[in-house]
Amino acid sequence: MKAYFSELFTGAWSLILGLKVTLKALFSPVVTVQYPRQKIDVTPNYRGHIDLIKDPETGTHRCITCGMCMRDCPSDCIYLEGEKREGVKGKVLTLYTLDYTKCSHCGACVEVCPTQALEYCDDYEVAGFAREDFHYDLLKRVEERE
Amino acid sequence: MQTLNSYAPEIIRIVIAVVGATVLVFGNALVMGYMERKLAGHFQRRTGPMEVGFHGILQLVIDGIKLMSKQLVIPAKADKPLYMLAPIVSFGPVFLPLLVIPFSDRIQAFDLDVGLLFILAIAAINVLAILVAGWASNNKYSMFGAFRAVAQNVAYEIPMLLSLLAIVFMTNTFSLRGIVEAQNVWFIVLQPVAFLIYLVCMVAETNRAPFDLPEAESELTAGFLTEYGGMGFSLFMMAEYTNMFIVCSIATVFFLGGTSGIPLPYFEYTGIIWFLLKVYLLMFFLVWIRWTYPRTRFDQLMNLCWKYLLPFSLVNLLITAVVVKL
């Protein structure tokens, strides 16, 4: 009999506490945003597809065309080419393509790069109608960036 | 409507009452549909409908058009006549209780001597509709939902009646007008236990969370609603919202003094403002608990009814009877 009433009162009390929690939530400010009209900053930890970093000192990328990223990529989504030029030390990057349809964001390319030439970009609106929309030319992207 | 009674012929009175009830049913479904979704959003700290109209105010109109334009799909092995009949049986009777509810001193279609019995009798038809819907859908989820609805509604009808009966003992009348007029002090003060019991039963009777076992999504997809789409579904939903309105109106009439409030000019008519305010506060409470409590298990639901509500309502009734007799 005692258990019956104590159960009743603890139960009722916990119900009241529950109501208090949701009432507090009702009068708290909304935490979501109306997405296509409002956007929030992307967290720096976000992993988009990879991008070549634009070095502020030289005004261009830091890739030395060693091909480590191409070899290290488990999904074979990176392809790059370079050529030897007169008067320039080392090879010059002529093509850097990323097949984003295969990329799994493992980050092996970013880690293996000897010159830290790669980063994750923060593009998150990357819908497309064709597979080819996701074949990125990273060299062109780094040149086009301001 | 008493004034109309003396001037206008009966037929006009009936037409006005029926039109009023229809407007109330559809208007209430619109308001509640919007309020429920908006509140659901804010209880979870999001915004709810925002796109259609200012702050999504036209969302329900769009939803209505969508539901009306949808094809009525009847499952291949369903019992076709019953399947079509169930939403109508659910939605048809919800107009009738509105006719005896005293919205204000003069806005009431008929003041039946047995108003309470009338409302409870009509409200019980909804259980039949759910059973028919579950049976006719020829679907195991629908069937289970219907089983649960019947067991739950039959169980909770008893403490609900007993708690209301305590009020009837005090007022000596079944007429809703009579009960409103008998309240010098709101009966929530004199009968707090009956009010609490009624409040719990009210949630269970309308099959709403945390007692929404007949349509528990996570276990029964949507219970008896599983096979219904388009207008069949929306008729059930409108019936549910109207039933919410009716049970909240009974609570207002029995425990919250009906129309009583700060006097306004032309109070015989403007009393409806206080009445609707109280009803919608109770509706807000229903939405509030829906978004607070998790769904009960079926044995817990039955335990609550038979082990707590029923003994308490019986004791309450007994005490009331003794006090009234003294």
Q: What is the DSSP string of B277-307?
A: HHHHHHHHHHHHHHTTSPPPPHHHHHHIIII
Interface contact flag, A34 B47, Cβ < 8 Å: yes
Residue stretches of chain A with pLDDT short of 50: none
Look at the alpha carbons of B164, B169, B170, B175 in this order and tell me if their dihedral is positive or negative: positive
How far is Cα A95 from Cα B290, in angstroms, rounded to an integer?
A: 59
Residue B300 contacts A, CB cutoff 8 Å: no
Q: What is the pLDDT along chain B (326 residues), one digit of tens a residue?
A: 455 555 567 778 788 888 888 888 888 988 888 888 889 989 888 888 888 878 888 888 888 888 888 888 888 888 888 888 888 888 888 888 888 888 877 777 777 788 888 888 888 888 888 888 888 888 888 888 888 888 888 888 889 888 888 888 888 888 888 888 888 888 888 888 889 899 888 888 888 878 887 777 777 777 788 888 888 888 888 888 898 999 999 899 888 887 877 777 777 777 788 888 889 999 999 999 988 988 888 888 888 888 888 988 999 989 988 988 87
ipTM value for the complex: 0.71
Cis status, amide bond into B210, omega within 30 of 0: yes
For tokens 């997809």, what's the residue? Answer: B221
Domain ranges of chain A: 50-144
Give the 3-state secondary structure of residue B212. Answer: coil
Which of A4, A22, A30 is opposite residue B291, by nearest beta carbon? A22
Is the CATH number 3.50.50.60 carried by domain A50-144? Answer: no
Cα distances from A137 to residues A73, A79, A144, B18, B180, in angstroms, run: 17, 10, 11, 70, 78
d(CA B112, CA B305): 30
Interface mutation vs chain A, best among B43, B50, B196, B286, most A CBs within 10 Å: B43
Residues in B closer than 8 angstroms to A17, CB to CB, are none
Contact B198, B167 (CB under 8 A): no
CA B65 to chain centre: 24
In this prediction, residue A132 carries a pLDDT of 87
CA–CA separation, B173 and B218 (whole Å) = 44
Report the DSSP pairing between strands A135-137 and A78-84. unpaired
* A8:B291 CB<8 A: no
In chain A, residues with a C-beta closer than 8 Å to the C-beta of B292 are: 18-19, 21-22
> Which positions ≥6 away from B308 have C-beta within 8 Å?
A8
Query: By the 8 A CB rule, do A50 and A118 touch?
Result: yes
CB contact under 8 A, B43 and A15: no
pLDDT for A129: 92
Interface contact flag, A22 B39, Cβ < 8 Å: no
Nearest residue to B250 via CA among B149, B147, B142, B168: B168
Alpha helices in B138-229 (DSSP H): 140-171, 176-181, 187-190, 192-205, 217-220
